[in-house]
């Protein structure tokens, strides 16, 4: 049961990381917003980054933009996923091996 939950948490956090990473790359290279895929990435990830909006300003380096909002969101979601997995590792069942030790 806990193995399925761990796998599901890893999958969800992995998808969120991937989408946010694409958003960061597209923002960095100032991708064309009229492209359907880029517009979809921005609209899909907007609810994920909106709680972190305006925490740090974006940094413009010539034509490139470093979006710190997306970086903060990436870090926070990775930490949340890690904490959830750690919680399940402490709460999850442990099975007796027979040699005095336990296994997951």
Tens digits of residue pLDDT in 21-80? 999 999 999 889 999 999 999 999 999 999 998 888 888 888 888 888 999 999 999 999
Q: How many domains, the chain?
A: 1
Asked whether residue 102 is assigned to any structural domain, the reply reads: no
Cβ atoms within 10 Å, residue 20: 24
Asked whether residue 79 is assigned to any structural domain, the reply reads: yes
**Rounded to the nearest 5 degrees, what angle is found at the Cα of 22, between the Cα atoms of 6 and 10?**
5
- What pLDDT score does 82 carry? 93
- Distance of alpha carbon 78 from alpha carbon 17, whole angstroms: 8
Q: Print the domain residue range for 47.
A: 2-97
- What pLDDT score does 96 carry? 46
């Amino acid at each position: 049961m806990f193995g399925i939950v761990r796998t599901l948490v890893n999958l969800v956090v992995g998808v969120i990381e991937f989408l946010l990473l694409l958003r960061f790359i597209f923002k960095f290279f100032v991708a064309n917003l009229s492209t359907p895929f880029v517009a979809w990435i921005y609209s899909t990830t907007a609810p994920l980054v909106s709680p972190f909006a305006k925490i740090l300003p974006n940094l413009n380096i010539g034509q490139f933009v470093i979006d710190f909002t997306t970086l903060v969101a990436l870090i926070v979601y990775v930490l949340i996923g890690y904490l959830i997995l750690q919680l399940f590792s402490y709460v999850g069942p442990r099975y007796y091996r027979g040699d005095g030790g336990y296994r997951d």
